[in-house]
Amino acid sequence: MSAAAEQRVEEDPKKSGNVKEDDSDNDYTPGDFAALGTSAVGALGLKALEIAETERANSPNINGVVSGRIKDKIEKAVNVINTLIYKAEATGDPSSLRAKNRQLTAQIEELRVADVIRKRELENMKVIIDDLKKEIRELRGDLTAAIEAKTRARDCQRATLSKFRSLRGNGRRNGRQGPRGSVNWSGGRRC
């Protein structure tokens, strides 16, 4: 086929709009081979060429010159198929790559959903942490107030005991027996 004819063949499907971007290999693959992998299709081609070579070798109707040319063409076809198999295996089977691509796309979507959920949970955790920090600040304030009240109460108790002891000691010297006697309790410092 000439280069111009090949170009026309390539342009015709584009003009007709029948080319699918997702399944482009189906345009060139017969239905029987669509489900097979690259290596399996190549093996079938090699087997067909082997049968053709056997038929050529056993055919009495083909003369020597034509038989030699057919043999050369079959050997070239075998080499071409082997090269194509090697290159296809090196780059990967398009159908398996598409399947892998669909699988990875599904995983990406799952990870996106999980990421959104994680971000929501993180925001909820931040709100909870802020509330707990606020509560801790309030509790620290309450604790500080309680410590100050305890310190004041202790200081007041010490002052009262000191005053009581001093009054008790003064009362015994003056002949009084207890704090409820003639000692003036109202004149002292109030706690």
Per-residue pLDDT tens for 62-73? 778 888 888 888
Give the pLDDT confidence score for residue 28 in this predicted structure.
52
The reported pTM is 0.38
State pLDDT tens for residues 146-166: 999 999 999 999 999 998 888
- Rounded distance, CA 169 to CA 160, Å? 14
What is the residue-averaged pLDDT of the chain?
A: 77
Tokens 């802020």 belong to residue: 130
Report the candidate in 145, 179, 139, 142 with the shortest Cα–Cα distance to residue 162.
179
Torsion sign (Cα): 132, 138, 139, 140: positive
- Rounded distance, CA 140 to CA 136, Å? 6
| 3 state DSSP class of 55 | helix
DSSP structure string for 76-117: HHHHHHHHHHHHHHHH--HHHHHHHHHHHHHHHHHHHHHHHH
Tell me the average pLDDT across 106-124. 97
Dihedral of CA atoms 126, 128, 134, 139 in degrees, nearest 10, equals: -140
Provide the residue type at 59 as one letter: S
- 76, two tokens: 């070239």
Report the candidate in 72, 87, 76 with the shortest Cα–Cα distance to residue 38.
87
Percent of the chain at pLDDT > 90 equals 31
pLDDT of 134 above 90: yes
